[in-house]
Amino acid sequence: MIVSNKKHVKGIEIKDDNMKNVIKRVLITPKEGWEGYVMRLFEIGYGGYTLRHSHPWPHINYVIKGKGKLHIDGTDYDIEEGSFAYISSNKLHQFINTGEETLELICIVPEEGDTKR
């Protein structure tokens, strides 16, 4: 069990030539009792974007604030506060901040999905 606040979780700046202005905070893991899943918070700064990639696990996303684009397999979707998405396994995807404030989103993946980025 855990009750906390994002301000108490250290942000990890992700450095990669194919990503820009991305910070990840790992909020809940099996260590806190959620077996098999990890809940992360991504903060994508002004002009930032995540890696365009695919992987063998699905994930669930919920936008807390900001606005942007979610690219899935060749289609760009507008996203904003309150938007949510389920991205199936092996789908090419990317989050892009198109707004003026930080794009902040929750990303839930199976445990193996947090071993990389």
Nearest to 30 by CA among 95, 113, 93, 98: 113
CA atoms within 13 A on the CB side of 75: 6
State pLDDT tens for residues 14-39. 988 999 999 999 999 999 999 999 99
Whole-angstrom distance, CA of residue 85 vs CA of residue 67: 14
Helix (H, G, I), strand (E, B), or coil: what is residue 32?
helix
pLDDT in tens, the chain (117 residues): 899 999 999 999 998 899 999 999 999 999 999 999 999 999 999 999 999 999 999 999 999 999 999 999 999 999 999 999 999 999 999 999 999 999 999 999 999 998 754
Task: State the average pLDDT for the chain.
Answer: 95
Q: Which domains does the chain have, with CATH numbers?
A: 23-114 (2.60.120.10)
